[in-house]
Amino acid sequence: MRTMLSILATAAVTLTGCASTAPGWESRFGDAARQARALQVIDPDAPSRHRQLAMTDGKAAAGAMKAYAESYGYAVQEAKQPALSISTTSGR
């Protein structure tokens, strides 16, 4: 019984020593990722200026897409509805 108590006491002291170092590691967890993300931001104040977005109407956008496609040698094809025929005659 006494041997078991000394083994448990030794294990408790050993585990306490290991547990005290973990908060030191976790206090800076993710700092490198946050720093890398912050370095990739060109203008951090951009959302606060509330610039109006440039608007393009549908015809201008469609024309730009068609001109872009033709510049690379392929044409934009119009989507056609598939022909569907349903036969109601019986084979008798």
Q: Which residue has the higher pLDDT, 66 or 76?
A: 66
Task: State pTM to two decimals.
Answer: 0.30
Q: How many residues does the chain have?
A: 92
CB crowding 75-92: b at 16 or more within 10 Å, else e: eeeeeeeeeeeeeeeeee
Predicted confidence at residue 1, as pLDDT, reads 76
pLDDT digits (tens, 9 = 90+) for 9-62: 887 777 766 665 556 677 788 899 999 999 988 888 877 777 676 788 888 888
